[in-house]
């Protein structure tokens, strides 16, 4: 069966450290992968997109890697701040004619002062 | 600012009483989506409109319907809400079907 897995346990880290979140998938051939941030009671906000032929993408303190052999994406936040505390969702866009965006359930990040 | 707006932010309805949630956008995007998200779960796509073309997901219950009277507005109608329909309902838009989706703030539905 097709699955997207994100760690359901919250990630607690100290301010200033690098947070690393994982997205694993099985039985998909994604054209690209996206990361979204979701605050409690709010809609997801798009952060970064990485395509199947890209290994790494950066935006300010954010970095995403994509390994289609391991079927895994890593999402890094460097110099983390309490304001980075939120749930982070990964989403896959499948290749071919199937247009659906498939979301993971997200991992909650808590950055402590 | 161009944006996706959802009203109301919180909606309380009674078991079996029809309810309508609304979404509007100022982005002039072609595609509008409705997702259901339950606590600590992934957003689940219910259906989407590409312009006037309606695309239903195979596992979306018949109890859920949608209308898109014009480019800017899209409605989610729940004909007979059950307790299991209590969730956050998210509207999203994208310029085209494979482009980035932009979400509204969501409507939290409570069914009593």
Give the class (CATH, top level) of A3-112: mainly beta
C-alpha distance from A45 to closest chain B C-alpha (Å): 7
Residue span of the structural domain in which B21 resides: 4-104
A27 falls in which pLDDT band (50, 70, 90)? confident
A97 falls in which pLDDT band (50, 70, 90)? low
Distance CA A48, CA B88 (A): 23
Cβ of B104 under 8 Å from any chain A Cβ? yes
Residues of A contacting chain B (CB within 8 angstroms): 4, 8, 31, 34, 36, 41-46, 49, 89, 93, 99-106
- Count of the separate structural domains present in chain B: 1
Interface residue of A25, A37, A41, A101 to substitute, partner B, most B CBs within 10 Å: A101
- Does residue A98 surpass a pLDDT of 70? no
A100 falls in which pLDDT band (50, 70, 90)? confident
B42 with A44: Cβ contact below 8 A: no
Residues A110 and A42 sit within 8 Å (Cβ to Cβ): no
| Residue B112 counted as domain residue | no
C-alpha B70: how far from its chain's center?
A: 15
C-alpha distance from A5 to closest chain B C-alpha (Å): 10
Q: What is the largest CA-CA distance in chain B?
A: 38
In tens, the pLDDT along B75-108 reads 999 999 999 999 999 999 999 988 899 999 999 9
CA nearest A44: which of B11, B57, B1, B45? Answer: B45
Distance CA A109, CA A103 (A): 17
* CA-to-CA separations, A94 to A22, A46, A47, A51, in angstroms, rounded: 19, 17, 18, 11
Domain segments of chain A as ranges: 3-112
Question: Which domain CATH number covers B63?
Answer: 2.60.40.10
In tens, the pLDDT along B51-82 reads 999 999 999 999 999 999 999 999 999 999 99
């Amino acid at each position: 069966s097709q699955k997207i897995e994100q760690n359901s346990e919250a990630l607690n880290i100290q301010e200033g450290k690098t947070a690393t979140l994982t997205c694993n998938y099985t039985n998909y051939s994604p054209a690209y992968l996206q990361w979204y941030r979701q605050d409690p009671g709010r809609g997801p906000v798009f952060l970064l997109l990485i395509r199947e032929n890209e290994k790494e993408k950066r935006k300010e303190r954010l970095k995403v890697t994509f390994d289609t052999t391991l079927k895994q994406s890593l999402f890094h936040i460097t110099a983390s701040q309490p304001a980075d505390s939120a749930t982070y969702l990964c989403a896959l866009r499948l290749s071919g004619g199937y247009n659906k965006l498939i979301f993971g359930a997200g991992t909650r990040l808590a950055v402590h002062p | 600012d161009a944006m996706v707006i959802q009203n109301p932010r919180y909606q309380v309805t009674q078991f079996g009483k029809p309810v309508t949630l609304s979404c509007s956008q100022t982005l002039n995007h072609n595609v509008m989506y409705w997702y259901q998200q339950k606590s600590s779960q992934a957003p689940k796509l219910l259906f989407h409109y590409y312009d006037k073309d309606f695309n239903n997901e195979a596992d979306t219950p018949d109890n859920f319907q949608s209308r898109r009277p014009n480019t800017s507005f899209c409605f989610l109608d729940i004909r007979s809400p059950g307790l299991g329909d209590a969730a956050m309902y998210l509207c999203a838009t994208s310029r085209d079907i494979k482009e980035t989706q932009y979400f509204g703030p969501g409507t939290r539905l409570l069914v009593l």
